Copies of this chain bind each other. A is one copy, B any other.
Amino acid sequence: MRTFRLVIACPDRVGIVAKVSNFLASHNGWITEASHHSDNHSGWFFMRHEIRADSLPFGIEAFREAFAPIAEEFSMDWRITDTAQKKRVVLMASRESHCLADLLHRWHSDELDCDIACVISNHDDLRSMVEWHGIPYYHVPVNPQDKQPAFAEVSRLVKQHEAEVVVLARYMQILPPALCSEYAHKVINIHHSFLPSFVGAKPYHQASMRGVKLIGATCHYVTEELDAGPIIEQDVVRVSHSDSIEDMVRFGRDVEKMVLARGLRYHLEDRVLVHGNKTVVF
């Protein structure tokens, strides 16, 4: 069922819901899902509606025009999306296949509603798996002494494929700041720890050294500061003294792929609203 998704953030005040729901009702809009959140701390209001496209008398452009005055009146930071327009996703990976294979399978079995434009990797290992899915694979090696050319090529490919979302499916390279800024809130990373614990390299080794009893994974938007961007989703799994680092890595893979898949799904469904360094996930 085709829907429009109306996503709004604005300073909180009386009458926002009335205005928006009146607008929708006056055009006979059939709301299939509605979520609201008032943040007392920041004084902001967040809202997401899913509306059956076939219940409305107009398309998305006319909707946008008709709604603009309301948006202006309430100083809304807003967007409307059409589920008929699938988002274009570029996946980036390195050598480890678990997150990539998981996302590809979900896409292949119609669980993830998006177009996968291509896969970019700094290694060639996963080419055959990707190409079996009918998706172009670009091998862009990264020279540790001079990473700039590789990232220029990555940037070019992302642009060429008109990516709306870039997913770092265990890409293991730190993106340059310029790319992070250009695609703010559009680059999704999976970090293999329960952030803010164990930022940076080898988090399972860090976790083992500290003797924690749970390990986790964090899906977040990439910002210039490493592993510090807005968190979309997290989860953990129990470990014990009997688990070696290799066991942790293995358990961790399952958490990583689940958390990334959930985080990406929320993003694709326009459920994630970023405010400051935090997210509202409807």
Q: Which residues of A are in contact with B by a Cβ distance under 8 Å?
A: 14-15, 17-19, 21-22, 24-26, 28-41, 46, 55, 97-98, 101-102, 105, 109, 111, 128, 132, 194-198, 208, 210-214, 216, 230-236, 240-242, 244, 250, 253-254, 258, 277-281
Contacts and interface: CB of A to CB of B under 8 A. Distances in A.
Given A197-B196, A231-B212, A28 B14 contact: yes
Contacts of A280: 241
Number of copies of this chain that the complex holds: 4
B98 A14 contact: no
Interface of A is mostly: mixed
Nearest to A36: B34
A168 B104 CA distance: 23
Contact of A241 (B208, B242, B244, B281): B281
Contact of A98 (B109, B230, B277): B109
A22 B105 CA distance: 46
Contacts of A277: 210-211
B216 A231 contact: no
Given A18-B22, A214-B235, A230-B211, A244 B40 contact: yes
